[in-house]
Structure 1
Amino acid sequence: MSWLNSEAFTAFEQHIKWSDMIGNTIGLIALALGWRRSIWTWPVQFVSGVILFAAFASSHLTGSAGKQVVVMVVAAWGWWQWTRGRQQAQDGSIAIRFASRRERALLVAAAAIGTVAVAGLFTLEPSLSWDPWPDAYIFVGTLIAMYAQARGLVEFWFAWLLVDLVGVPLNFANGFAFSGFVYIIYGALVLWGMRDWWLRSRTSAKPSLEGAAA
Structure 2
Amino acid sequence: MNTFSWLNGEAFTAFGQHIKWSDMIGNVIGLIALALGWRRSIWTWPAQFLSGAILFTAFAAGHLSGSAGKQVVVMLVAAWGWMQWDRGRQQTQDGTLAVRFATWTERALLVGAAALGTVAVALLFTAYPSLSWDPWPDAYIFVGTVVAMYAQSRGMVEFWFAWLLVDLVGVPLNFANGYAFSGFVYVIYGALVLWGMRDWWLRSRANTAPALEGATA
Give the TM-score normalised by the residue count of structure 2.
0.95
Query: What displacement does 1:87 show?
Result: 6.5
* Runs (5+) with no aligned partner, structure 2: none
8 Å CA contact 1:62, 1:135 repeated in 2: no
2:146 to 126, 137, 143: 143
Q: Secondary structure at the match of 1:60?
A: coil
Residue 202 in 1 paired to residue 202 in 2?
no
Percent identity (aligned):
82
Partner Cα separation in structure 2 for residue 152 and residue 23 of structure 1: 24
Partner Cα separation in structure 2 for residue 138 and residue 208 of structure 1: 37
CA-based RMSD of the aligned residues comes to 1.2
Number of aligned pairs? Answer: 214
Residue identity opposite 2:53 in structure 1:
V
Residue identity opposite 2:100 in structure 1:
R
Residue identity opposite 1:161 in structure 2:
L
1:157 to 154, 160, 163: 160
**Can you list the C-alpha shifts for 1:56-105, whole angstroms capped at 9, x where unaligned?**
12223223212211210111101110112456556532100000000000
* Runs (5+) with no aligned partner, structure 1: none
8 Å CA contact 2:19, 2:181 repeated in 1: yes
Residue 24 in 1 paired to residue 18 in 2?
no
2:48 to 35, 45, 48: 45
1:124 to 124, 127, 136: 127
Where has structure 1 moved over 6 Å in runs of 4 or more?
Answer: none
Partner Cα separation in structure 1 for residue 54 and residue 86 of structure 2: 25
Determine the structure 2 residue equivalent to 1:106.
109
Determine the structure 2 residue equivalent to 1:13.
16
